[in-house]
Amino acid sequence: MSDHITITPAQGTWVVRAGGAVLGESTGALELREGDYPPVIYFPRGDIAMAFLDGTDKTTHCPHKGEASYFSVVTKSRTLEDAVWSYEDPKEDVAAIKGYLAFTPMEEIAIERI
């Protein structure tokens, strides 16, 4: 694994909400720590209500993780553009996050351990 990235099981049950609606709840989430950045919780795709997510054309590149693809979250009141990302084919050192989803923390999105 990259010397500055660690991936561990996220302890407990994690929930993600957007616009007040629960998008998912998981006991199988992963916590990724990268350097000095805050930890990021990655949710298994099977634990997320994918009907609320729309794939977008946005991609970004991380030299340590690979290419990320993005989704927008559709809530009752608005669409949160490119608020979710996933590594469909991550680099070998971080293969554990393949197909998992991470959510951008913002006013409309809450990621909490319950």
Q: What is the rounded average pLDDT of the residues 4-12? A: 95
- Assign residue 97 the CATH number of its domain: 2.170.150.40
- Give pLDDT, residue 2: 54
Tell me what percent of the residues of the chain surpass a pLDDT of 90.
89
Torsion of Cα atoms, 94 then 29 then 40 then 67, to 10°: 40
Looking at the structure of the chain, the number of domains it has is 1
Q: Which residue has the higher pLDDT, 17 or 3?
A: 17
Tokens 């629960």 map to which residue?
22
The DSSP call for residue 38 is P
| Residue 103 belongs to domain spanning | 5-113
**Predicted model pTM:** 0.94
pLDDT digits (tens, 9 = 90+) for 52-105: 999 999 999 999 999 999 999 998 889 999 999 999 999 999 999 998 999 998
